[in-house]
Amino acid sequence: MVTFDFTEKNFVVVGASSGIGRQVTLELSNGGANVLAIGRNLERLNELKTNSPVSLVKRPPKIFTEQLDVLTATPDDWAQVLGNFTGAVGRINGGLYSAGIWGLTPLHSFDTLLARKIFDTSFWGAVNFLQAATRKKFSDGGGSFVLMSSTAGDFAGKGLFAYSAAKAAIQSAVKSFAKEIIRGKHRINSVAPAPVKTEMMSGDYAASVGEQTASRQLLGPGTARDVAGMILFLLSERAAWITGQNFFVDGGYIVGSYT
């Protein structure tokens, strides 16, 4: 199903092997884009290639895959994977950074290593990706980038300081990045979903948080597809006048939380 026209565009999705990143990868591809799908699980990334979009154009879009751990990737690693992709299809028109992990980090008993991993996966990985991807040799002017925040960035949950702080940091950094990358005519925004059912939210505690949240969502529980719509819009040319913003996609969770 084509939701936006991305014919002959090239996008990168980091965290494409599951959940929201996977959904966006498939919809970009179905919309006509070549997509570089990045993650650690190569088997799941390669499954994306079995998606065969119905294409009326001569050169059907392709999904490329690269295995990369954002926690250990060096600037050279980023340059290598982006270079492989742009060498094959040309410069990119933007990307989604969707890598993230969730975990409890109560103040008096948190695991420092886990807390750092949570923060680094959501925040520093995004910074490193954006730094590489917005270089002139990889990005055409006028690219659109989306980073994943969360409602947790504004309405931090108990015992979730690392995750919530990372997601608040994303919203703040986006406002600063917007002013810098406009030099290359690029745009950047963040999307902040309320919990939706994905692998990240499938553990017992995460699932119970999801259920509690869903009880306050005016529109009921959401899915990765419900979040993907906003991301695809922001990546598309229809959002050409939008940058430096954060967009909640929450099924009415925030307004539903207050009487």
Ligand X SMILES: NC(=O)c1ccc[n+]([C@@H]2O[C@H](COP(=O)([O-])OP(=O)(O)OC[C@H]3O[C@@H](n4cnc5c(N)ncnc54)[C@H](OP(=O)(O)O)[C@@H]3O)[C@@H](O)[C@H]2O)c1
**Strand, coil or helix: 187:** strand
Using the CB atoms, write b or e for 82-105: b if 16+ within 10 Å. Answer: beebbeebebbbbbbbbbbbbbbb
* In the complex, minimum distance from the CB of residue 209 to ligand X, in angstroms, rounded to a whole number: 9
* In the complex, minimum distance from the CB of residue 55 to ligand X, in angstroms, rounded to a whole number: 25
Pairwise CA distance, residues 60 & 141, whole Å:
24
- Select 70 or 115, whichever has its Cβ closest to ligand X: 70
* In the complex, minimum distance from the CB of residue 257 to ligand X, in angstroms, rounded to a whole number: 15
* In the complex, minimum distance from the CB of residue 153 to ligand X, in angstroms, rounded to a whole number: 9
- Select 81 or 89, whichever has its Cβ closest to ligand X: 81
- Select 5 or 28, whichever has its Cβ closest to ligand X: 28
Q: Which amino acid is at 56?
A: L
Pairwise CA distance, residues 41 & 46, whole Å:
9
Pairwise CA distance, residues 204 & 201, whole Å:
8
- Select 92 or 249, whichever has its Cβ closest to ligand X: 249
| Strand order across the beta sheet in which 139-148 lies | 63-67, 34-39, 10-14, 92-97, 139-148, 187-193, 246-249
Task: Please give the residue ranges that form the binding site for ligand X (CB under 6 A).
Answer: 15-21, 39-41, 44, 69-71, 98-101, 121-122, 148, 150, 193, 195-196, 198-201, 224
**Strand, coil or helix: 256:** helix
- Select 178 or 200, whichever has its Cβ closest to ligand X: 200
* In the complex, minimum distance from the CB of residue 21 to ligand X, in angstroms, rounded to a whole number: 5
Residue 21's nearest CA partner among 83, 68, 84 is 68
- Select 55 or 116, whichever has its Cβ closest to ligand X: 116
Residue reference for tokens 């990765």: 224
For residues 133 and 93, is the Cβ–Cβ distance under 8 A?
no
- Select 13 or 89, whichever has its Cβ closest to ligand X: 13
State the residue number with the nearest CB to ligand X.
Answer: 19
* In the complex, minimum distance from the CB of residue 7 to ligand X, in angstroms, rounded to a whole number: 25
For residues 192 and 249, is the Cβ–Cβ distance under 8 A?
yes
* In the complex, minimum distance from the CB of residue 248 to ligand X, in angstroms, rounded to a whole number: 10
